[in-house]
Amino acid sequence: MAKTKELVGRQVPCQLCPLRKLKIFRPFNPEELAFVSRFKTGEVVLKAGAPLFLEGATSAHLYTVLSGLAFRYKLLPDGRRQILNYCMPGDFLGLQGSVMHEMQHSVEALSDMVLCIFNREGLWRLFESHAGLSFDVTWLAARSEQMLDQQLLSVGRRSAAERCAHLLLHLADRVAEVGLARSRHTIRIPITQQHIADTLGLSLVHTNRTLGRLMRLGAIRWREQEFEILDRDQLAELAGDDETSSAVRPLL
């Protein structure tokens, strides 16, 4: 049986973290970098499909995604699943668990991933000693709240086609931000239509038909677990409201 979760000792020192080179992340001063480096206790490697958090469990850890993708979701008792959002490199995970008693959502790897591990006590020390970094943590929390707001607007008030258009644009933008787009509009993420459906509050069948319609319109291309934006303007028009929220952000 293949291991799905593997713990690795400290690997990349934060100072050399490849993510920091991206201009989307604000530069840290050496002192901050040193602290974050001490804050980090190791790395985990996750196989695609493996759980990182499970709803109801308590987690002593915080993570920053180094590479790979994941999604956050909740289940209803009868198995209906709602995907809340997607986690990309640079995202900081597990704050809810560190701050509340137990996890109120689950997280599952979408692709193989590597994550930095921090622990709760470290978070407390961070607040005690580094106002700037504390502010960063809060900033990140506010940002993810914003993304949830958008998602809620979509699911609550947009039609199926609008939702699809909006989600695909949003995903494409986020992927591009962290340098994962192979070209300007070609996105390769290991996502199935079932994921899309569970993200948008639609059924699988209807999602398939809606994507099919978008394909016939020439707006996108879909080929086994990967999609491509062909006509960004058309999608943006459909989506209605194209908030481009890509602001420079901290990376813990």
Partner DNA sequence: CGCGACCTTGAGTAGGCTCAATGCCGGTGG
Partner DNA sequence: CCACCGGCATTGAGCCTACTCAAGGTCGCG
How many helices, marked H, and strands, marked E, lie in the chain?
Answer: 8, 12
**CB nearer DNA, residue 127 or residue 222:** 222
Give the Cα separation of 82 and 196 in Å (integer): 10
Burial of 186 (0-12, 13-18, 19+ CB in 10 A): middle
4 binds DNA (CB under 7 A): no
Q: How far is the CB of 159 from a copy of itself (least distance, A)?
A: 10
**CB nearer DNA, residue 57 or residue 205:** 205
Give the Cα separation of 223 and 65 in Å (integer): 26
CA dihedral 36→37→43→49, nearest 10 degrees, is: 30
The residue within the footprint of a copy of itself, chosen from 120, 143, 188, 209 (CB under 8 A), is 143
Q: How far is the CB of 183 from a copy of itself (least distance, A)?
A: 29
Q: How far is the CB of 83 from a copy of itself (least distance, A)?
A: 8
For the segment 162-191, give every residue that binds a copy of itself (CB under 8 A).
none
Tokens of 107: 């997280």
4 binds a copy of itself (CB under 8 A): no
Q: How far is the CB of 28 from a copy of itself (least distance, A)?
A: 16
Tokens of 59: 């987690």
Tokens of 219: 């707006």
The residue within the footprint of a copy of itself, chosen from 100, 121, 192, 206 (CB under 8 A), is 100
159 binds DNA (CB under 7 A): yes
DSSP for 162-231, written as a single string? HHHHHHHHHHHHHHHHTT--SSSSEE-----HHHHHHHHT--HHHHHHHHHHHHHTTSEEEETTEEEES-
For the segment 215-234, give every residue that binds DNA (CB under 7 A).
222, 224-225
Tokens of 138: 């809060």
Residues that bind a copy of itself (CB under 8 A): 74, 76-78, 80-82, 84, 95-96, 99-101, 104-105, 124, 127-129, 131-132, 134-135, 137-139, 141-146, 148-153, 155-158, 198, 200-201, 240-241, 243, 245, 247
What are the residues binding DNA (CB under 7 A)?
Answer: 159-161, 192-194, 201-212, 222, 224-225
